[in-house]
A = this chain, B = another copy of it.
Amino acid sequence: MSQRELSELTGCDKSTVSVIIKRFEGIGLVERTMGASSGRRGRPSESLRISELSGLLMGVHLEFECLRFVAANVDGRPFASIDRPLPTTPSELGDDVRNGLEALCNEVGRSLSEIRAVGMTLPGLVGSAGGLAESSNLSWDTVAVPDLLRTKIGAPVYVDNDSNASTLAEHLFGVAADLSDFIMLDGSRGIGGGVFIDGRLYRGRSGFSGEMGHIKVVKDGRMCGCGAPGCLSAYICAPALVARSRRVPGISKFSDILAAAEAGNPDVRYLLEEAGQFLGVAMATLINVFDPPAIALGGIIAQIWPYIENSTRQTIQQNAMRTPAREYEIRISTISNSQIPWGGVTLALEGFSNLHPTDPLPW
């Protein structure tokens, strides 16, 4: 992009852009290249780009099986990843994260000092200060994650719920890149989500918003892992689908369900159609409450979408108010199922690019 284009895009005058760009060049964040000739006569236009060597954004994903580390340049696009074992107790988290970051830096031939920000995702409720407050899927509870990391890692650390991070990733890099408002439902061991409004993630009073898996779909219904009855997650998260198909021979994990559905197994197809109805009820509630331009579906919901689409859409039409139900759009995420997760580096990018104007630059 040229300086003139930056000026038009930001609404800042040319001299302001020039001053800021000089500063960014000075710290190695931005570099100048000669753009492709426009075909017209005259000198080839000079353009600016984010320098690939300007630093690293790192994602750390606390998943159920492992700690997953992801590296991105400051444009936020992940390019490498490694998995390490989960710490057995929270007290080991600081050392384990530092060691993992170091191992990933070694692997990509960079150094820890190049890390500009770390974004860490947790599978549970994460408070505004970054602490884990509640996780029905993880045996940890009330862990002050930032305190555990602060002394071990030089760069700023941004911690959030995994689905909040996925929601941000869909806005910056995924199916919601053109939307300033959308609702995300993201599925794995549990069902999560995010509320994206007016161009930013809405985090609620204390950071706990977006728990779409705990929308009530059946009054006094199945018990959910969260301890309450009738949540969407109790009907459609991966363990629930596996549990509900236990009478089908050969099903012991989620990938078996996908394979059986693909092979046309009628019991599994029926089970998934029914799951689509529960999802449709929850989405009808979201449509009536938000009138959202779009709902993005990610993770396992995206994976089973071919088998639940009909029943989900039909249930929405039967349950949502007819005017907003004419307008909503469903978008199926691809990055939420990519081999390298995007959420962590997206959190790091959000933090890195939202430095308060009076903050000192972090390097």
Contacts and interface: CB of A to CB of B under 8 A. Distances in A.
A315 to B, nearest CB: 9
Interface string A304-323: 00000000000000111111
A5 interface: no
A198 B195 contact: no
A227 interface: yes
A226 B289 contact: no
A226 B284 contact: no
Interface in A170-188: 181
A203 interface: yes
Contact of A285 (B197, B209, B285): B285
B206 A321 contact: no
Interface in A133-150: 133-134
A258 interface: no
Interface stretch (A25-33, A57-65, A216-224): A216-224
B290 A209 contact: yes
A207 B293 CA distance: 11
A211 interface: yes
22 contacts: A133-B323, A195-B290, A197-B197, A198-B202, A204-B324, A205-B291, A206-B327, A209-B291, A211-B324, A214-B320, A215-B289, A216-B282, A216-B284, A217-B219, A218-B218, A218-B219, A219-B221, A219-B281, A226-B322, A228-B320, A229-B319, A286-B289
A291 B322 contact: no
A292 B289 CA distance: 14
B324 A208 contact: yes
Task: Give the oligomeric copy count.
Answer: 2
A3 interface: no
A227 B322 contact: yes
A288 interface: yes
Contacts of A204: 181, 290-292, 324
B202 A197 contact: yes
Contacts of A226: 321-322
A125 interface: yes
Interface in A194-251: 195, 197-198, 202-212, 214-219, 221, 226-231
A292 B205 CA distance: 6
A278 interface: yes
A219 B278 CA distance: 8
A321 B215 CA distance: 10
Contacts of A209: 289-291
A212 B291 CA distance: 11
Nearest to A286: B289
Contacts of A319: 216, 228-230
